[in-house]
Structure 1
């Protein structure tokens, strides 16, 4: 048993709404507090001196620093951190004026990463995933969604998902895999887009399920990837197989977001080009709207309209989209702070978007600090938690607690 603290503030995020706007005064903040952890779970939380007396035999942890604040550990609910290769050439083309789609048509883009990832061994991919995961963990991110999608054939998609599964054995963070065979139709596939999706449904997806590699799947609904009609067919077929579906939607054109809601997908991710009619469909929907500001920054395009989505009672999450092409930054807190400032999101809304609302996008029980929860919380120096966002990524956590482990950064 361990007693952590004392902390100037603990922001528990407990009891807040899953949908719509949040104001800072609604945040549940416990002051001069501590957290008791036993067997990896939160046993108690409250005033530090009361806990000190109640759990006299508990080991005291983090007592040295006078001013500390605590928030739930962060959750990055959309990443592509399983990849090999380098896309600096794409970046140079993009900042010289070429569009994302123009770069792809010129032979760059996703297929460049596909070729490099296919050439990598599973062990090499594990090393690369682990390095990126540890970078996120150092930011206070304890749960990371990781997609395949740079294999695009049976052997290489399975290799990617096996690498993600293996990496889980080497990190304190929790990796949640997503099968993204429907990223694009690879150039070396002989057949139509429909035949490629049928190949995924009939040959690849059953193997993914058989090996227990993923229960989530994703599809890129966009020009140059898969149109609305084909995507709807794929979503429904994959749901029949038992997959939870999510969608890359409305990044460059609209239509995918409405499809995601109408077909019961658990999230619609990107949404930079979502139209006003589609925004209204997210009102109290179980489909989470995931903003990916890293892609907006990387491509020099508009941010997801989070303010409009929140005002229409959507559940809004924020993730990095960390990938080698459009979003190479990989810094969740900096990106969340920047889009929060641009979209006039309150600190409460921004923190919710990278904690419990992000957890809901993955359908995991996390993102709060309450009795009975698995212990996942992050510690910062200071006496005001708002400085975490005020510094826009420049204030780094000192420790992240995951289960019975206290990780010093």
Structure 2
């Protein structure tokens, strides 16, 4: 006799399952928009897992017991919890003063020369206590949860020395333990060379390889990331670093093609990177090469709020990426310098407006493909029996309204691991 459902959402106007694509790789090409939507459907949970999904006409009433919590979501959309696959969660202070200076015409390089930019955040982060950093991270995670984010990747990268980088990873993991949003850690010590290594990027990477990576456990910090760009790390230095990280058992990520097309994305895909991020300057030809090199498993994580916030004209050509067969995900890139926003819905909307994604493609890009981009596809990203019961009740009756109501948060209720978060 099967157990009664613990939680049942019924009479949904639409259930966005994100199911129906290939089981062994992220959604690409036409598959990105070809997943199943159930009209007038239900989602049933048993404990922490999804037990059943389907149209109301197929609901097994025999599994509704006296203790089943029934939630009528008539006129509303049900969908998987959002997966936020690229954030810089833990940092000290903010850069609101620099935002004012930028608006008054100062360039990023002028601000950097005056000790601002990333170096400003590094100073504030190094000076902050673990408790201050933890409270800041918890505050931001609560904000993400209100937007419907149920799983989130958190990068280090604002310490730029061995001790602080290790602290940032520990703070992110502790923040994950203290609240319901699941946190996946990425080591981004190779953000830019630390200020003590100015002009010596290779020496800085050697320090990370000798003093930090051996201290990390890939089961706790599954990914190593690097910023491959002029002024950060070259393609050759990035390759050497990522190769060594792979030998140590880490999954690979890269920030690449944000400001120039240097070939970092293709290099990382050839090494088996799980994602290549930013990609604003990746050409359609380059995207096809990345898709081939990554055998359809390397996800391009696009970050549309960054060029918006930096007032840049160049956005990643997402439509061309999709046509080239490259899997695409979306993220905010939440950070204090180039995107102090936790609104993943706004990122989805700007991707539709500026990168050529359709609403269905954009929804796949913030759920299932985002889960693939952080190795969480077996746990979340779609509404399928056996997966974790992470889902959202939205205050709209049709998914096509999601990119339409610009800047609005459509989330009415959040469920994480079968627990309805009030």
Pick the TM interval, shorter chain.
over 0.9
Residue in structure 2 matching 1:386, options 358, 382, 400 = 400
Question: Which moves more between the two structures, 331-340 or 388-397?
Answer: 388-397
Correspondence 1:179-328 to 2 at 5 A: 179-189=187-197, 192-209=200-217, 213-255=220-262, 256-283=264-291, 284-301=295-312, 302-328=314-340
Computed over aligned residues only, the root mean square deviation of the Cα atoms, in angstroms, reads 1.9
Residue in structure 1 matching 2:179, options 144, 156, 171 = 171
Residues 314-349 of structure 1: per-residue CA shift (max 9 Å, x gap): 000000000000111221111111121222211111
Alignment of 1:344 with 2:356, yes or no, is yes
- Report if aligned partners of 1:162, 1:213 keep a CA contact under 8 Å in 2: no
Correspondence 1:10-409 to 2 at 5 A: 10-16=15-21, 18-22=26-30, 26-48=34-56, 50-51=58-59, 53-57=61-65, 59-63=68-72, 65-189=73-197, 192-209=200-217, 213-255=220-262, 256-283=264-291, 284-301=295-312, 302-364=314-376, 365=378, 366-408=380-422
- Report if aligned partners of 2:329, 2:370 keep a CA contact under 8 Å in 1: yes
In structure 2, the residue corresponding to 1:180 is in which secondary structure?
strand
- In 2, the alpha carbon distance for the partners of 1:348 and 1:56 equals 32
Q: Give the C-alpha shift of residue 89 in structure 1.
A: 2.6
TM-score norm. by structure 1 comes to 0.94
Q: Give the C-alpha shift of residue 394 in structure 1.
A: 1.1
Corresponding residue pairs, total = 406
- Report if aligned partners of 2:33, 2:364 keep a CA contact under 8 Å in 1: no
Q: Give the C-alpha shift of residue 275 in structure 1.
A: 3.0
- In 1, the alpha carbon distance for the partners of 2:391 and 2:166 equals 33
Question: Which moves more between the two structures, 40-49 or 375-384?
Answer: 40-49
- In 2, the alpha carbon distance for the partners of 1:25 and 1:376 equals 21
In structure 2, the residue corresponding to 1:390 is in which secondary structure?
coil
Q: Which runs of 5+ in 2 are unaligned?
A: 1-5
TM-score norm. by structure 2 comes to 0.91
- Report if aligned partners of 2:20, 2:35 keep a CA contact under 8 Å in 1: no
- In 2, the alpha carbon distance for the partners of 1:68 and 1:19 equals 25
Residue in structure 2 matching 1:2, options 7, 10, 23 = 7
- In 1, the alpha carbon distance for the partners of 2:107 and 2:289 equals 29
Q: Label 1:106 to 1:227 Cα distance change in 2 as closer, same or farther (>3 A).
A: farther
Question: Which moves more between the two structures, 286-295 or 380-389?
Answer: 380-389
- In 2, the alpha carbon distance for the partners of 1:76 and 1:25 equals 19
Q: Give the C-alpha shift of residue 60 in structure 1.
A: 3.3
Q: Label 1:14 to 1:249 Cα distance change in 2 as closer, same or farther (>3 A).
A: same
Question: Which moves more between the two structures, 171-180 or 385-394?
Answer: 385-394
Q: Which runs of 5+ in 1 are unaligned?
A: none
- Report if aligned partners of 2:317, 2:356 keep a CA contact under 8 Å in 1: no
